[in-house]
Amino acid sequence: MRLLTAIITFFLLLPAAMVIQYYEYSREIKSVGPYPLLPSGKEGGHLITFSTPTQSLAEIECTGGSGSLEIVDIFSGERVFSALIHGQISEELVIPHEGSYYVAYFGNGSLSCVIRFKENYPTESVQNAIYTTGTVSALVLAILLWRRWRR
């Protein structure tokens, strides 16, 4: 019975450790670039690719040409961000989930871009797993302690 209580207590404390770890990780500012980005067209073009292990608040800063800029999820093809550029741009955006993305530029002139990941958060599925583990562990521990107290 003590072993079971110890295991349940461990799983009760595990979500707190995971949240602390995400907090420490989110404080680090990471960046991609600066990279030159030539216009994409029918014959192809240059792309900036990047990956993120979490949902992120990012800032994209580009200087140079004029046209449109897009950030697209490589696997789903979902457009995450789109903006018009006239000389320069500096905007915040949310990268919705972990994965690989590319930045494409359609316009005139070359562009130089930097992407900074300002804050990183666990994705919704990870948050659900953390909260479910903590809740179930707390309930099982409460039942075990209640049964022990009744004896």
Q: 3-class DSSP state for residue 116?
A: strand
Give the span between the Cα atoms of 132 and 130, in whole angstroms. 6
Domains assigned to the chain: 2-150 (2.60.120)
The CA-based diameter of the chain, rounded to the nearest angstrom, is: 79
pLDDT in tens, 116-125: 888 777 777 7
pLDDT in tens, the chain (151 residues): 677 777 777 777 777 777 777 676 666 667 677 777 777 665 556 788 888 887 888 999 999 888 888 999 999 999 999 999 888 899 999 998 888 999 888 888 888 888 888 877 777 777 787 788 778 877 887 887 787 777 7
Give the span between the Cα atoms of 149 and 151, in whole angstroms. 6
Give the span between the Cα atoms of 75 and 36, in whole angstroms. 23
pLDDT in tens, 1-28: 677 777 777 777 777 777 777 676 666 6
Task: State which amino acid sits at residue 145.
Answer: L
Size of the chain, expressed as the number of residues it contains: 151
Measured on CA atoms in the order 80, 48, 92, 42, is the torsion positive or negative? negative
